Amino acid sequence: MNYIFYFLIVFSIVIGAVNGKLQDVVNAVMSGAELSVKIAISLIGIMAFWLGIMRIAEKSGLVKWLSRILRPVTKVLFNDVPKHSPVIGDITMNISASALGLSNAATPFGIKAMERLQKYNKDKTSASDSMCLFLAMNTAGLQLVPTTVLAVLIGIGYKNPTEIIAPTIIVTLIAFSSAIIMSKIAQRIFPPQRMSVEKEACYDEAS
């Protein structure tokens, strides 16, 4: 990525010099740098506000309520995981927190879910089907409240920042669904790796 940005900067300077508009390029760089600093400073208060709202949602039980709704769907998607395994709860909490913009809260649940999925993984040297599916879902990132984008739009003085919520939900829902579908198709194309369900492991998970 650094090479790409370096190429774009050098390319812009060269093109500007060739066309006799090097001063315009310099002015654009300076004004862009100034605007980025203003946005970064304005984001402090805005992000604090939105993170506070999301924390209230977490403390009030909204995240847990949403995870209970998603739990039956999660059980169907991760059908090779033991039915009463706590990993289902970790997965649903991760997805719910991410959807509400609580990335800080979602990360520990995601790490814990991967650790537990690895315990059920028969081949410890490669990811299981469920691990790949969870990674795809997590990367696609279903968003109900795009907190960061809203904060940026408010920071630059956009008149109606909330108008991005509906398109964001639609786009991320499509990406989220596509990730699940592609993962399930890949599981059928390539030999599936079934999880080893050991009584000792299940007992440790339950405890």
**pLDDT (tens digit per residue) in 69-107:** 777 888 788 877 777 777 887 888 888 778 877 676 677
**pLDDT (tens digit per residue) in 23-68:** 888 888 788 777 777 767 766 776 676 667 667 766 777 767 776 7
The reported pLDDT for the residue numbered 195 is: 47
Single pTM value for the model: 0.61
169: Cβ contacts below 8 Å, ≥ 6 apart: 143, 144
20: Cβ contacts below 8 Å, ≥ 6 apart: none
Domain boundaries along the sequence of the chain: 61-206
Question: Cβ of 97: how many Cβ atoms within 10 Å?
Answer: 24
* Confidence category of residue 207, pLDDT binned at 50, 70, 90: very low
Distance CA 64, CA 12 (A): 49
Distance CA 137, CA 147 (A): 19
Name the 3-class secondary structure at 125.
coil
Taking CA atoms, 151 is separated from 22, 85, 109, 114, in Å, by 33, 37, 25, 30
Q: Which residue has the tokens 């410890």?
A: 124
Name the 3-class secondary structure at 201.
helix
The reported pLDDT for the residue numbered 174 is: 93
Helix axes 62-77, 22-59, angle to 10 degrees: 100
